[in-house]
Amino acid sequence: MSILRVAIAQINSTVGDLEGNAGKILEYADRAKKLEADIVIFPELAVCGYPPEDLLLKPSFINENIKKMNMIARSLSGITAVIGFADKVKSDIYNAEALV
């Protein structure tokens, strides 16, 4: 029988600190990988911080948040991650999770 190891990364994201939050996500994904986890799960809106409140009204913030999510996705290897971020489809904003 195969074993699936799941890690839960209860990081404390800082609202609006996209760079710092991305760094934490990558750091904790690496920690989980070193502990031989197959999947690491991050909190709601881990990329942009929770609760982002009025920042969600700024298109530039949403776009930068999505860019950071894409950078994180390109940087991960050897582990699957579920990461919370703010997504946009047309003019609608969503509280989303990415499976990377």
- CATH assignment, 6-99: 3.60.110.10
Tokens of 25: 């996500």
Instruction: Tell me the per-residue pLDDT of 69-81, one tens digit each, with 9 for 90 and over.
Output: 999 999 999 999 9
Q: From residue 98, give the alpha-carbon distance in Å to each of 1, 3, 41, 54.
A: 28, 23, 10, 22
Please tell me the pTM assigned to this model: 0.94
How far apart CA 30 and CA 27 sit, in angstroms, is 5
- DSSP state for residue 100 in the 8-state scheme: -
How far apart CA 88 and CA 14 sit, in angstroms, is 21
Instruction: Tell me the per-residue pLDDT of 89-100, one tens digit each, with 9 for 90 and over.
Output: 999 999 999 999
Domain ranges of the chain: 6-99
Q: How confident is the model at residue 68 (pLDDT cuts 50, 70, 90)?
A: very high
